[in-house]
Chain A
Amino acid sequence: MTLTDQSFIEPKKQINDQQDINKWVTSEAYIRLTRFIELLNESVVNKKISDPCFVSELVQKVIDTLDTIMSWIDEIPPLPTSQRFGNKAFRDWVARLEQNAPIIHRDILPPQFHDAIIELVSYFTEGFGNATRIDYGSGHELNFVAWMCCVHLLGLFQEQDYTALVLRVFTKYLDLVRRLQSVYMLEPAGSRGVWGLDDHQFLSYYWGSAQLRDNKHLKPKSILSEELVNMYSSDYIYFGCIKYIREVKRGPFHEHSPLLYDISQVPNWTKVNSGLMKMYVADVLKKFPIVQHFVFGNLLPFKPMAEHQVEDQ
């Protein structure tokens, strides 16, 4: 889908109460986002991270950008003074991100798309955590994915890029946010605790389970083997997530991550993959405390989805 003769506006919040959730899930924005997420899912079925993958010039620029903003972490070390929890140096990192976001976009996007930057920077700067609360949660992940979706809607990412968006860009994004989480001690934003999949991420599991769909050797219950997790974490996002959890959480796995444990008992990855998308809709996209913060412009509009698309549904 490409958009021409498009005007761009500063995105604004639209979801003000529980009733607005119904408007949200029947909006153009919702359809565009969920379609994008599913397209990316299909693009990584049975693919390893180490498999060769087409990387366009723009995708490479995005990867380089993520590397650059990751390097700022070294330039903005955590403050040694005592804090409530999260380190206030994170505010400086985010400030730098916000300050540089427009110029970063002007550097990587062709000039005819610069009008869209006003919409893109909104999602981009919200994709790495909240500066005031010094936290990170699934809403921030959603913003980063919304950013990728917007670039896609502009026609700048195409079908040939989907695999790289997950296995090169999103993996780099995961590296970055994990570093932010640990260096600045970001709080788990709005975590559902033992009733949620993960304190911070969700789509990493969804897309990660697609990678494993027809895998002959690795089954859902393989995540319980520390050996297998270590061996395959660099090739499979799902295993990388489990490895990260084991590193940061204390206690038996089924106590601190019961949902992931329960999912490990599901017979195959196909069911895991489809189940995770249903769960994502129910636990993230339809939850007011998360999506109340989401903003809508013209790329992801709050207006009801177009008539012809209603029929397609």
Chain B
Amino acid sequence: MGQSDLDGQIEKLRRCELISENEVKELCRKAREVLIEESNVQRVDAPVTICGDIHGQFYDLKELFKVGGDCPDTNYLFLGDFVDRGFYSVETFLLLLALKVRYPDRITLIRGNHESRQITQVYGFYDECLRKYGSVNVWRHCCEIFDYMSLSAIIENKIFCVHGGLSPIIGSLDQIRTIDRKQEVPHDGAMCDLLWSDPDDIEGWGISPRGAGYLFGGDIVAQFLQNNNLDLIARAHQLVMEGYKLMFNNTIVTVWSAPNYCYRCGNVAAILELDDKLNKNYKIFEAAPQDVRGLPAKKPAPDYFL
């Protein structure tokens, strides 16, 4: 696939138009080659802009690029959860994937708990692929790509980035490096915890009400930062009214990039811009105005109603 083909696909996806199933297959093949080289703790250089959950909110992702700058002019790190819940998980994920293949050193995509076969069959991505392509092949190709996605990132050896949070069986970054990530997200264990855990106002570890991962307190964060010589954990995974939320004396930040989540939450979204000295600038943005949001095609009721 030539660069001009890829550029053409990126232009199409930027207009929220689908690429063909064959093009998806080829894009995924190329993406696999890029992602397979990446580490479980992928090194990312500053300056870079960190983004949280997108959940198929394509037109709000376009707002994000307006506010943060287009890729590759701005370097990006996305913390996962590209798919499910929104209308445009397909276009969202494929655009980001195409950008990754085109500009591999300018954009980093790490895995969220929704980048999973089991979860996407419940929360919409599977249904969307079936509806938009008439078959599940695109879903299958994307799920294979999910398996190759990195579990975390480290920015200038100082900022640790992961979708969910910490694991009681991971004390060091090196331990993360030993995980075999090329698999469906497990129900438990280190890989699961990294994608599912949440910080909470407790001491130590707690049972997570999500049914996967754990809750972890400020003491756990402090210990992890100290043991690994880090300054900050940047993560996503939880809805934030004000787009981003710092906790535990600014040692951990949740970044959430899906504005007006579920069309009701009224939250703003945020991205975290880091300059080359790792100075932080949080940029806030709202949902794209109605006149720029494409209207999804209406469709007949599901088969249950026939």
Of B24-32, B116-124, B142-150, B276-284, the one with at least 4 CB within 8 A of chain A: B116-124
Q: Are B300 and A199 in contact (CB under 8 A)?
A: no
A107 an interface residue at 8 Å Cβ cutoff? Answer: no
B interface residues, how many (CB within 8 angstroms): 47
CB distance from B203 to the nearest CB of A (A): 15
Of B101-109, B152-160, B167-175, B233-241, the one with at least 4 CB within 8 A of chain A: B233-241
B165 an interface residue at 8 Å Cβ cutoff? Answer: no
Q: Are A255 and B295 in contact (CB under 8 A)?
A: yes
- Given known contacts A85-B267, A250-B263, A282-B304, A133 and B123 CB-to-CB distance under 8 angstroms: no
A132 contact set on B, CB distance < 8 A: 200, 209, 215
CB distance from B65 to the nearest CB of A (A): 21
Shortest Cβ distance from A17 into B: residue: B187
Shortest Cβ distance from B239 into A: residue: A85
Q: Mark B223-260, 1 if CB is under 8 A from A, else 0.
A: 00000000000000011111001000000001000001
B122 contact set on A, CB distance < 8 A: 192, 287-289
Which of B55, B124, B211, B263 gathers the greatest number of chain A CB atoms within 10 Å? B263
Q: Are A193 and B56 in contact (CB under 8 A)?
A: yes
Q: Mark B268-306, 1 if CB is under 8 A from A, else 0.
A: 000000000000000000010010010110111110111
A106 an interface residue at 8 Å Cβ cutoff? Answer: no
Which among A195, A254, A274 is the interface contact of B85 at CB below 8 angstroms? A195
Q: Mark A248-279, 1 if CB is under 8 A from B, else 0.
A: 11111011101101110110000110111011
Which among A248, A252, A276 is the interface contact of B304 at CB below 8 angstroms? A276
B87 contact set on A, CB distance < 8 A: 194, 255, 258
CB distance from A71 to the nearest CB of B (A): 26
B238 contact set on A, CB distance < 8 A: 84-85
Q: Are B86 and A84 in contact (CB under 8 A)?
A: no
B262 an interface residue at 8 Å Cβ cutoff? Answer: yes
Tell me if B's interface is mostly helix, strand, loop or mixed.
loop
CB distance from A134 to the nearest CB of B (A): 10
A250 contact set on B, CB distance < 8 A: 260, 263-264, 266, 287
Q: Are B242 and A187 in contact (CB under 8 A)?
A: no
CA distance in complex: A34, B210 (Å): 25
CB distance from A179 to the nearest CB of B (A): 16
Which of B260, B295, B301, B306 gathers the greatest number of chain A CB atoms within 10 Å? B301
Contact residues, A257-311 vs B (CB, 8 A): 258-259, 261-263, 265-266, 271-272, 274-276, 278-279, 282, 287-289, 292-293
Binding site for B on A (CB under 8 A): 17-18, 82-85, 130, 132-133, 185, 187-188, 190-196, 199, 248-252, 254-256, 258-259, 261-263, 265-266, 271-272, 274-276, 278-279, 282, 287-289, 292-293
What are 6 residue pairs bridging A and B, where the CB atoms are less than 8 Å apart in the complex? A193-B55, A193-B85, A195-B127, A252-B295, A258-B87, A289-B119
Beyond A188-B261, A193-B262, A262-B299, 17 extra complex contacts between A and B, CB < 8 Å? A84-B239, A84-B245, A132-B200, A133-B210, A185-B241, A193-B84, A250-B263, A250-B266, A250-B287, A255-B87, A255-B295, A265-B301, A266-B301, A266-B305, A271-B306, A288-B122, A289-B122
